[in-house]
Structure 1
């Protein structure tokens, strides 16, 4: 896993974007979908990586914040709302054909983009 410097997405063809736009959007719900359906697509794999990072952040935030007594009752829903907003931003980026990283967590790269 690399965090610095952030991996700059290279140029992606318009055909790749059009062919894999909906797979990339679905990657924010099922991050492994691009690994199965579009592993040669730079666009879909980029969004698959963003979806995986979002999932791992969600798991970590829920575990950590649920361990905090009383304050966790406020922090868990706020964190989940923030993560929902990030997922919506990612889906909109995919549907619009852009490879823009998510705020705060978008520079993390776990899946190797071809």
Structure 2
């Protein structure tokens, strides 16, 4: 399945994996869901989204070292990253598997859904 579509998951999987899906957006804590819920498609989808968000935040941090333009890009990117963080948590808490805007459709790192 392409990463740009909303996936359909069993409601039982959603209920079992909500906590792991939410943790996936807290930086390196995506590893908990990656290891503890390997077979849960809902969790693995949000782990993938969490990894993409982490990579986005790392790139913003690196770019922010560049004077002037990098500072502006870093600040705007950090604010956008925080908005994506909130959106990811809300989506996983609601039991939805929607890609994050702009970055959620880039590529698939964890392929089990």
Report the TM-score, using the length of structure 1 for normalisation.
0.86
1:89–1:102: 8 Å Cα contact kept in structure 2? Answer: yes
1:23–1:44: 8 Å Cα contact kept in structure 2? Answer: yes
Report the TM-score, using the length of structure 2 for normalisation.
0.87
Q: Determine if the alignment matches structure 1 residue 53 to structure 2 residue 55.
A: no
Match of 1:111 in 2: 110
SS in 1 for 2:64: helix
Aligned residues: 109
1:11 shift after superposition: 2.2
2:13–2:42: 8 Å Cα contact kept in structure 1? Answer: yes
Which blocks of at least 5 consecutive residues in structure 1 are unaligned?
none
Match of 1:75 in 2: 73
Which blocks of at least 5 consecutive residues in structure 2 are unaligned?
none
> How many angstroms apart in 1 are the aligned matches of 2:14 and 2:24?
14
